[in-house]
Amino acid sequence: MSAKTTASAPVPAPVPPTEAGQAPAEAVSPLIRGVAVLRQLTEAGGSMSLSALERTTGLARSTVDRITATLTRMDYVRLDGRDAILTPHVMELGNAYLAALRLPALLSTHADRLADELDESVSLAVADRDGIRFIHQATRRRAMSLSFRIGDLLPAERTAPGQLFATEWTDEEWQAWRARRTRDPQNRDFPTVPPPPQNAWSDEDFVRRTARAAAENCALDDQLIEPGLVAVSVPVRDPRTARIACVANVVSHTSRHTSADLRETLLPRLRLAVAAMEEDLRRAPQPEPGPPPAGLATWTGASKQELGREFIESLARGLTVLAAFDEGRAELTLTEVAKATGLARATARRALITYEHLGLVTPTPHRAFALSPQVLSLGFPPLSRTSLPRIATPHLTRLTDTIQETTSLAVLTERRDEIQYTARAAATHVMSVDIAVGTRLPASSTALGRLLLTGPTAAAAAGSYALADEEPEQGVRAIAVPIHDRNGQVIAALNAATHVARRTAEECVHDILPALLATASHIETDLHTAARFTQVPLT
The reported pLDDT for the residue numbered 17 is 37
Mean pLDDT, to the nearest integer, of 443-449? 85
The reported pLDDT for the residue numbered 473 is 67
Dihedral pair phi/psi, residue 192, rounded to 5°: -85, -5
Structure confidence at residue 457 as a pLDDT band (50, 70, 90): very low
* Cβ within 8 Å of residue 353, ≥6 positions away: 24, 26, 27
Order of strands across the sheet that contains 83-86: 47-49, 83-86, 77-80
pLDDT > 70: percent of the chain: 91
- 346 burial level (CB within 10 Å; 0-12, 13-18, 19+): exposed
Mean pLDDT, to the nearest integer, of 212-232? 93
**Which amino acid, residue 187?**
N
Q: DSSP letters along 139-177, please?
A: ----SS-----TT-EEEGGGSHHHHHHHTT--HHHHHHH
* Cβ within 8 Å of residue 466, ≥6 positions away: 447, 448, 450, 451, 479, 480, 493
**What is the rounded distance in angstroms from the CA atom of residue 393 to the CA atom of residue 395?**
5
Mean pLDDT, to the nearest integer, of 261-281? 95
The reported pLDDT for the residue numbered 455 is 61
Q: What does R_g of the chain's alpha carbons equal in angstroms?
A: 25
Global confidence as pTM: 0.91
Mean pLDDT, to the nearest integer, of 452-477? 71
| Own/partner pairs, 51-56, CB within 8 angstroms, 24+ separation | 51/82, 53/84, 55/14, 56/11, 56/12, 56/13, 56/14, 56/15
Structure confidence at residue 433 as a pLDDT band (50, 70, 90): low
Mean pLDDT, to the nearest integer, of 358-380? 96
Structure confidence at residue 447 as a pLDDT band (50, 70, 90): confident
The residue extents of the domains of the chain are 17-95+291-383, 103-283, 388-530
For residues 430 and 514, the model is more confident at 514
**What is the rounded distance in angstroms from the CA atom of residue 67 to the CA atom of residue 310?**
8
Structure confidence at residue 463 as a pLDDT band (50, 70, 90): low
168-207: per-residue pLDDT in tens? 999 999 999 999 999 999 999 998 888 888 777 889 999 9
Domain 17-95+291-383 has CATH 1.10.10.10: yes
Q: Report in angstroms the alpha-carbon separations of 174 from 40, 201, 507.
A: 28, 17, 70
Helix (H) or strand (E) holding 347: helix 345-358
226-242: per-residue pLDDT in tens? 888 899 999 999 999 99
CATH of 388-530, picked from 3.30.70.980, 3.40.630.30, 3.30.450.40, 2.60.40.10, is 3.30.450.40
Structure confidence at residue 154 as a pLDDT band (50, 70, 90): very high
**What is the rounded distance in angstroms from the CA atom of residue 52 to the CA atom of residue 217?**
45
- 413 contacts 419 by C-beta, under 8 angstroms: yes
Helix axes 61-73 and 313-322, enclosed angle (nearest 10): 50
102: alpha, beta or left, given left = phi > 0 and alpha = psi -120 to 50? left
Helix (H/G/I), strand (E/B), else coil: 45:
coil
The reported pLDDT for the residue numbered 4 is 39
Mean pLDDT, to the nearest integer, of 420-435? 80
- Count other Cβ atoms within 10 Å, centred on residue 42: 23
Structure confidence at residue 32 as a pLDDT band (50, 70, 90): very high
CB environment 106-135: b (16+ within 10 A), e (fewer): bbbebbeebbeebebbbbbbbbbbbbbbbb
**What is the rounded distance in angstroms from the CA atom of residue 72 to the CA atom of residue 85?**
9
Lowest mean pLDDT among 127-136, 220-229, 308-317: 220-229
Mean pLDDT, to the nearest integer, of 215-230? 92
For residues 263 and 109, the model is more confident at 109
Residue 265 has pLDDT above 50, yes or no: yes
Compute CA 165 distance to the chain's CA centroid, rounded to the nearest angstrom: 24
Residue 487 has pLDDT above 80, yes or no: yes
The reported pLDDT for the residue numbered 255 is 86
pLDDT > 90: percent of the chain: 71
The reported pLDDT for the residue numbered 428 is 81
Residue 134 has pLDDT above 50, yes or no: yes
Structure confidence at residue 509 as a pLDDT band (50, 70, 90): very high
CATH of 103-283, picked from 3.30.450.40, 3.30.360.10, 2.30.30.30, 2.40.50.420, is 3.30.450.40
Same topology for domains 103-283 and 388-530, yes or no?
A: yes
300-346: per-residue pLDDT in tens? 888 888 889 899 999 999 999 999 999 999 999 999 999 999 999 99
**What is the rounded distance in angstroms from the CA atom of residue 538 to the CA atom of residue 392?**
10
- Count other Cβ atoms within 10 Å, centred on residue 283: 9
Residue 470 has pLDDT above 70, yes or no: no
**What is the rounded distance in angstroms from the CA atom of residue 400 to the CA atom of residue 398?**
5
388-400: per-residue pLDDT in tens? 999 999 999 999 9
Q: Report in angstroms the alpha-carbon separations of 391 from 3, 95, 158.
A: 25, 17, 33
- 28 contacts 348 by C-beta, under 8 angstroms: no
